[in-house]
Amino acid sequence: MRQTLTSIKDLLASRGLAPKKSLGQNFLVDHNLVKKLADAAELKQGDVVLEIGPGTGVLTDELLSRGVRVIACELDDGLAALLDERLADAKQSGHFRLIKGDCLDGKRALNPTLREILLPLSAFKLVANLPYGCATPLMTNLLLDYPNCSGLFVTVQKEVADRLGAKPGSKDYGPLSIIASATASVKPIAKLPPECFWPRPDVTSAMCSATRLATPLTPNVHALADFVQSLFEQRRKQIGGVLRDRFDVREPFAYPDGMDSKTRAENLSAPQLLALLLAVDAGGGRTGAVS
């Protein structure tokens, strides 16, 4: 049965629960947008979907109606118990599995139980209204460490969506933008004003997708990500100074075409940054090998 705002409030109230601001619990109550997110993922019967922060199961219900297998992770104990009860039949049939706890193990890895489940899969997709606090590290981990994650279809804070798809030279451009462009094709899906949620958040949200490229920009995306992170810790500093201080690169140095010592990292595309990394590596800089 489709959950309305009234039924969500009743479900929570019947268990003595309420949205927790500390966990970023803002429930998406616009079913047209829920459907739009699921449609964007182009789900087929039998697909495996990862959902983070299912809440009361509004999106979960839509996903299950499409014949997919949902692996969900819920941090809130009360909501996890609610989902166990509501989706008992789906659990019994093997279409729904709930992992209770944080989806992340620190900033650089997923929950160990999730890792054990996801890594052996031939393919899965992330389809989720992501809690704002976990969005960037979760998407970064999936893009870097889970090539079997064929696509990310998410609701996030608009500024995170802007960073995901940002272009060189823009204020939102940074490590997430570069990792995404090196591994995926990013597209907007919809913009969501606060009134689409209950309770209303203080920010605007957006739905976007990142569909995995058949061939990433480099086989060693981790090396590129680490290099970029170092450069963007001083994003306004000229790259000549950063390369000297962080990677022991000395002038004269053979910069790739289109850049010199005065260029700033924030103006370089992912292919240009990869070319710079390869040049530093070839020149004996302290980066680690890239193939």
Q: Tell me: the pLDDT tens digits for 128-175? A: 999 988 999 999 999 999 999 999 999 999 999 999 999 999 999 999
Q: Are residues 88 and 226 in the same domain?
A: no
Q: Tell me: the pLDDT tens digits for 254-280? A: 999 999 999 999 999 999 999 999 999
The rounded mean pLDDT for the chain is 94
Q: Are residues 73 and 168 in the same domain?
A: yes
Which CATH number is 267's domain given?
A: 1.10.8
Query: Which of 164, 195, 212 is the last residue in one of the domains?
Result: 212
Q: How confident is the model at residue 46 (pLDDT cuts 50, 70, 90)?
A: very high
Q: Are residues 58 and 189 in the same domain?
A: yes
Q: How confident is the model at residue 287 (pLDDT cuts 50, 70, 90)?
A: low
- Answer yes or no: is 291 within a domain: no
Q: Are residues 231 and 123 in the same domain?
A: no
- Answer yes or no: is 289 within a domain: no
For residue 288, which of 244, 248, 241 has the smallest C-alpha distance?
Answer: 248
Q: Are residues 205 and 270 in the same domain?
A: no
**DSSP annotation of 252:** S
Q: Are residues 208 and 227 in the same domain?
A: no
Q: How confident is the model at residue 285 (pLDDT cuts 50, 70, 90)?
A: low
Q: Are residues 127 and 230 in the same domain?
A: no
- Answer yes or no: is 287 within a domain: no
Non-local CB neighbours of 194 within 8 Å, separated by 6+ positions? 200, 201, 202, 203, 204, 205
d(C-alpha 290, C-alpha 288), whole Å? 7
pTM: 0.94
**CA 256 to chain CA mean position, Å:** 31
Domain that holds residue 251: 221-282
Alpha-carbon dihedral angle through residues 166, 167, 170, 175, given to the nearest 10 degrees: 60
Q: Are residues 167 and 130 in the same domain?
A: yes
